[in-house]
Chains A and B, each alone.
Chain A
Amino acid sequence: MLLSPAERSYIYDSLCQKDPIRPDGRTPLQFRPLEATTDFLPGSNGSARIRIADGSECIVSVKSKVVLSEKEANLIEWDVDVSGYRDDSNFVSNLKFSLTDLYMKNFPCEKLKLTAKYSYKLFLDCIIVSHSSYPLTLATMASYLALKSTRLPLLVSEVDDSQVEEQPTFSDDWEKAQYLAEFFKTESFSPPLYITVGIVGENVFVDPSETEEQVLENGLLIGYSEKKCIAPITNLNLATNSNNSNFKGFTPALLISTVDLLKGHLSSIVDALDTLDKQDKEDRTQSIF
């Protein structure tokens, strides 16, 4: 996307002010409204589709497989597909790396252990059907919902099979399948999210839109889970595919204040996601459109 110099300076100046004004009037910590559905793929253990009014859309599917624990290095495997990008392009590899990194550090993989010998392995496939702004927030929100809707069949064989030569067996009754939270035996199962943050002067903005991305001085990718900002935190130029002449360094103090700011406010994001997940579980719609 290419902006004219006059547009750029107008948007930049608006964002730079003491009371910044975003082009669409959002408050600095406000996300764009989303539309989401969960569990619409009968062939997957869990799935979610999420989209923004500007046409950005992301679909995530979770599939599980029973594996021998000792043979698998990672119990979560990501695959990212972005329409219009080659699978071996930098953009796709970076997204895949960022997601793998986030989940390696913040997902309770050890709880996927099924028996002494066997584990579940989760395959997370993320399709970015279309995007205009940097798609990681959307992708992690869709993964959040997909994992929340993920169900695993109930194990009926012995948990301790270290001496047994048999493979685990499962209940045929899908009604007895467990949601991940039940399977993990935790009350608060909350997969991690990435929040994209844009920096202009002293101001920070969450979920910058494509136009905003063009004028940002820097961009941050901040992991977030359970009311905490978590590793990884990285900075990057969110305006992919165009050169952003405003791009420059930022002061470390800004990073610390941003993390503080997010910590206090972002719990409502997770609440909103949880509410949708609950609504969908109560009243299931089959079609996604």
Chain B
Amino acid sequence: MSRLELYSPEGLRVDGRRWNELRRFDCKINTHPAFDGSSYVEQGNSKVICMVRGPMEPPMRSQVNQTQAVIEMNLNIASFSTLQRRKRSKNDKRMIEMKTTLERTFEQSVMSHLYPRTLIEVNVQVLAQDGAVLATMTNAITLALIDAGVAMYDYVSAVSVGIHDQTPLLDLNVLEENDMSCLTIGVVGKSEKLAMLLLEDKMPLDKLENALAVAIAGGHRIRDLMDDEVRSHGNQRVSKLTS
């Protein structure tokens, strides 16, 4: 197989983007009114649905924490989400890792001390994967939690960044992701604070700062896009209720 040219000398990537461009980002909130909160996010061709139940009375005693809410993440990656159909069990190591990462991220961002002795159940359904799945999931969860009216310190907007030769490339698709070391971060709101950072392979230390800067700027852009949706949905709802 001939190696794809991931970054042309003219500065174009496989899908025609430049280094600092995001893929198409589309999000909707309150897609499943029967749940307390829900969202749908498309980041490039990655598609994720997220549904939140709660805060609610935990069905099991073991889920009761006297001082704060327990956040339970249920990830489900559809077997048809990849090009080659592949069944992923829920006990798959990678799934457990992602689950833990997401749980830790949102335990910090949700003001869980406000909801003692309750359970927040987050169901994530990945329908299609085209790179940066963890980032897409994070964004979907943020939106669904906001839709559920769960108090959060700020948005957590996630994006991935890779290093190709010397250049950082923002928001990798699956082709790029397979071919370079990549980093996924979750930015807190418009700050430069990170709620999540995941780097699973090597990245030169001197490039890291640059890559992070690009990713943070990308995260801010995604936050704005999500904020637009939340605002327009909110205003629409308010105008409906007051009319």
Contacts and interface: CB of A to CB of B under 8 A. Distances in A.
- The answer to whether A and B assemble together is yes
A54 B34 contact: yes
Indicate the member of A65, A130, A289 with the most B CB atoms within 10 Å: A289
Chain B contact surface mostly? loop
Contacts of A113: none
Contacts, number: 65
A63 B128 CA distance: 13
Q: How large is the interface on B (under 10, 10 to 19, 20 to 34, 35 or more residues)?
A: 20 to 34
A25 interface: no
Contacts of A43: 45, 80-83, 128
B173 to A, nearest CB: 13
B76 A81 contact: yes
A57 interface: yes
Contacts of B74: 83-84
A130 B90 CA distance: 17
A146 to B, nearest CB: 11
A81 B123 CA distance: 13
Interface string A221-264: 00000000000000000000000000000000000000000000
Interface residues of A, number: 26
A29 interface: no
B78 to A, nearest CB: 6
Contacts of A288: 40
A31 interface: no
Contacts of B76: 81, 83, 127
B165 to A, nearest CB: 30
Contact of A61 (B34, B45, B80): B80
A129 B80 contact: no
Interface string B12-51: 0000000000000010100111110000101001010101
B32 A125 contact: no
A42 B80 CA distance: 11
B78 A127 contact: yes
Contacts of A68: none
Nearest to B87: A79
Given A79-B87, A129-B125, A130-B32, A287 B78 contact: no
Contact of A55 (B28, B33, B42): B33
Interface of A: 41-44, 47, 54-55, 57, 59, 61, 63, 65, 79, 81, 83-84, 86-87, 123, 125, 127, 129-130, 287-289
A282 B186 CA distance: 41
Given A55-B35, A129-B49, A287-B42, 13 more contacts: A41-B47, A43-B45, A43-B80, A43-B128, A59-B78, A65-B85, A79-B87, A81-B78, A123-B85, A127-B76, A130-B32, A289-B31, A289-B40
Contacts of A125: 78-80, 85
A55 B125 contact: no
A36 B79 CA distance: 21
B89 interface: yes
Nearest to A287: B26
A47 B79 CA distance: 13
A83 B81 CA distance: 16
Contacts of A55: 32-35
